[in-house]
Chains A and B, each alone.
Chain A
Amino acid sequence: MQQRIQFSATINGQKTGPHELPKDLMMIEFLQEYAGLNGTRLGCGQGVCRACTIIVDEPGKGPHAVPACVTGVAWLNGKSLRTIEGAARTDDTGRIMASAVQKAFLEHFSFQCGYCTPGFVNSATVLMEQLQARPVDADAVEEAVEAALDKHICRCTGYVRYYHAVRDLILATPGLTTGQRTREVSRHG
């Protein structure tokens, strides 16, 4: 294998490349240093804190979250990716419209310093999209949220507001759950 590779991808719906890159470049370095997409946060650099989570859309597999700090461009070459910059939409008047997940986080005051927020947004977005394809029992939403967000580390708000935001959004969005909710919606942890 050559020391450099030709890298192309679709990022937030826009084709990019080919770029000549070091073969061992991690995706977060490409996003920040080459693509000018600085919203993806570098935290631990070890794939543990999940602040750097981005979304990969693969045919047949659907959307899934990967840590950009330890996933190399060699693996993501040719794939379709979404970063935090792709979460919000712009309406016909040019106004930026936060995504449903972003709105829920704002309404719940989910974050404080915000460093981990892009990762939470992307993993919560993946969860919402996965539930559209495979709804979960209305009484099992908390467990689904925890499974999706458990790996993410937040050091300001203690997770509860993130978890409540995603839980409430799922329960309020038609088609993501099955059956009648019988479990009490807790406001405390």
Chain B
Amino acid sequence: MDKAQRSKFTRIAAGIAAAAVVVLGGMYIAGSASGSVPPATVDFANISAEQKQKLFDRGLQVFRAADCAACHSSPTTGAELAGGMAMVTPMGTLYGTNISPSREHGIGKWSADDLYRAVARGMAPGRKNLYPAMPYASYHDITRADVDALWVWLQAQSAVEVANRSPEMNFPFSIRPGLALWNALERPAGGPAPEAVNTLDRGAYLVNTLGHCGECHTPRTSSFAMDLKQSLAGNVIEGAYAPDLRPKSMAARGWSERDLLQFLRTGLSPQGVMTMGMFPVLQHSSAHMEEADLKAMAAYLMQGEKPESRPPVAEAPQTSTSANGERVYLGLCAGCHGVDGQGQPHSSLRLDTNTTAMFPTPLNLVRVIREGLPERDLAHGERMQAMPGFADQLSHEDMADLVNYMRLRWGRQKGDVTPSQVADAIRSAESH
């Protein structure tokens, strides 16, 4: 390379570097900005006691519907605003923050505008990017009126003087300003949703925005954003399968609006029980929501689809493995769940209508059988007794045969789960 060529190369490299700096700088500025903040819907300095009470009541409903407590509770004391709950992600571990009105550790110094920026735009005061585990990608179109009510409710709670635990993210995700680049690419644009005027709009707002159901149930892209082309299509997260919530898939698994309402309200329906990641949803959110809102969610999720009628299955189809599967089922499961999967009210789930065997992946079925389930007080008087785990009794071969028996008999799935797939499911679960 002669001198002239070297000079040309240097100029090109410098040009590319400068362009990269400009692009990245632009992305940083865009991704760490909060955009315009819609004006508050109330004059907080001049509200009557009656108005304040209305805001307080609505704020509590927003807090429940948005399931803030699922992540911002204390895992040790259970205090709902204290923070500390660990969220294990492929990029590292984050801890829910203190959102009580503590002026030192919580959000006691925040204005309602600050709360809007955090909830809808992922930006804390001081141009501090929040990690997207705070689901601002879902909350982005929260109404300003809901934020105002939430702010009134939060500020009226007791301060919890507990320090926040620092994130333990892997490099390069530990560089917080880098999140601005993610925001520039992935943070949804657009302002608040209009106030819902009908049931389906209200349901959409509760499912997609406040309920942020897609954060678990929507597949992720390679940049770990929700793949909105496949909204609510089902996703494996934290070692479990969050099922497909699209209407036709729900109907194919036997869901109706009525059963879905019962499931959201009590944690239990013929299709199954709230467990794994859904139990905290029941505990902190859906069990406390107003019935009209739960009905709206059910109506939106079902979109008028009716459950597919399914002929009762007397016997599992005979296959080479189903004889052993039936042996294991009758030996270890039928004592509680019944020979025909009929279950026992308030103690053992019925399996003949349970949807877990219908999922495309056997992951959840393998996990529940291996690990068991704790005794649960669900909600509104509904409950389930403990299920023991059978990890130490079942070989991978027996587990595969049992899972196949259940999937063939009640899941309308092929009985093609292999022992090595069982081993994969166990590894996947144990890595979380």
Q: Contact between A71 and B323 (Cβ–Cβ < 8 Å)?
A: no
Contacts of B307-341 to chain A: CB distance below 8 A:
322-323, 326-328, 330-332, 334-336, 339
Q: Are A74 and B327 in contact (CB under 8 A)?
A: yes
Chain B residues contacting A70 (CB-CB under 8 Å) are 335-336
Chain A residues, CB < 8 A from B330: 23-24, 72, 74-75
Residues of chain A within 8 A (CB-CB) of B327 are 1, 74-75
Residue of A nearest to B388 (CB): A47
Specify which of B335, B347, B385 is in contact with A72 (CB 8 Å cutoff): B335
B230 on interface, CB distance cutoff 8 Å: no
Q: Does A178 contact B (CB under 8 A)?
A: no
Main secondary structure of the interface of B (DSSP, over half): helix
A46, B334: Cβ atoms closer than 8 Å: no
**Are B385's CB and A71's CB within 8 A?**
no
CB distance from B315 to the nearest CB of A (A): 9
Interface size grouping (class) on chain A:
10 to 19
**Residue B348 at the A interface, CB < 8 A?**
yes
CB distance from B166 to the nearest CB of A (A): 33
Q: Report how far A50 CA is from B339 CA in the complex, Å.
A: 21
What is the bound-complex CA distance between A73 and B328, given in angstroms? 10
Q: How far is the CA of A130 from the CA of B54 in the complex (A)?
A: 62
**Does any Cβ of B come within 8 Å of A11's Cβ?**
no
Q: Which residues in B have their C-beta under 8 angstroms from that of A64?
A: 392
Does A128 lie at the interface of the complex (its beta carbon under 8 Å from any beta carbon of B)? no
B253 to chain A, nearest CB (A): 27
Q: Is the interface of A mostly helix, strand, loop or mixed?
A: loop
Q: Is B91 an interface residue (CB 8 A)?
A: no
Tell me which of B335, B339, B344 contacts A69 (CB under 8 A): B335
In chain A, residues 36-86, which have Cβ atoms closer than 8 Å to a Cβ of chain B?
46-48, 61, 64, 67, 69-76
Known contacts: A1-B326, A70-B336. The answer to whether A46 contacts B348 by CB under 8 A is yes
A26 at interface, CB cutoff 8 A: yes
Given contact pairs A1-B326, A24-B339, A46-B348, A72 touches B332 in the complex (Cβ within 8 A): yes
Contact (Cβ within 8 A) A75 B348: no
With A and B bound together, what is the CA distance between A2 and B22 in angstroms? 75
Bound form: Cα–Cα A24–B327 in Å? 9
CB distance from A21 to the nearest CB of B (A): 11
Q: Give B15 Cβ to nearest chain A Cβ, in Å.
A: 69
Which chain A positions have C-beta within 8 A of B344? Answer: 46
What residues on A are CB-neighbors of B386 within 8 Å?
48
B335 touches A26 (CB 8 A): yes
* Nearest A residue (CB) for B331: A75
Nearest-CB distance from B328 to chain A (Å)? 7
Q: Is B348's CB under 8 angstroms from A71's CB?
A: no
The docked-state distance in angstroms from the alpha carbon of A1 to that of B320 is 11
B-chain residues with CB within 8 Å of residue A76 when the two chains form the complex: 331
Task: Give B373 Cβ to nearest chain A Cβ, in Å.
Answer: 13
In the assembly, what is the distance between CA of A72 and CA of B339, in Å?
11
A75 to B333, CA, bound (A): 10
**A75 to B332, Cβ gap below 8 A?**
yes
For A74, list chain B residues within 8 Å (CB): 326-328, 330-331
Q: Which residue of A lies closest to B344 (CB)?
A: A46
Q: Which residue of A lies closest to B347 (CB)?
A: A46
The residue on A at minimum CB distance from B336 is A70
Report A1-45 CB contacts with B as 1/0, cut-off 8 Å. Answer: 100000000000000000000011010000000000000000000
Chain A residues with CB below 8 A from B326, complex form: 1, 23, 74
- Give Cα A76–Cα B323 distance, bound, in whole angstroms: 15
Q: B40 to chain A: closest CB distance in Å?
A: 54
A70 to B335, CA, bound (A): 4
Query: What is the CB-to-nearest-CB distance from B370 to chain A, in angstroms, rounded to a whole number?
Result: 16
Q: Which residues of A contact B347 (CB under 8 A)?
A: 46
A23: chain B residues within 8 A (beta carbon) = 326, 330
Give, as a whole number of angstroms, the nearest-CB distance from A182 to chain B.
Answer: 29
B49 to chain A minimum Cβ distance, whole angstroms, is 51
8 A-B pairs within 8 Å (CB atoms) are namely: A1-B322, A48-B385, A69-B335, A71-B331, A74-B331, A75-B327, A75-B331, A75-B332
What is the interface of chain B, defined by CB distance below 8 A to chain A?
A: 322-323, 326-328, 330-332, 334-336, 339, 344, 347-348, 385-386, 388, 392
Apart from A67-B335, A75-B330, 12 more pairs, CB < 8 Å: A23-B330, A26-B335, A46-B347, A47-B336, A64-B392, A70-B336, A72-B330, A72-B332, A72-B334, A72-B335, A74-B330, A75-B327
10 closest residue pairs by CB, A with B: A75-B331, A70-B335, A72-B331, A74-B331, A74-B330, A24-B339, A72-B330, A74-B327, A1-B326, A1-B323
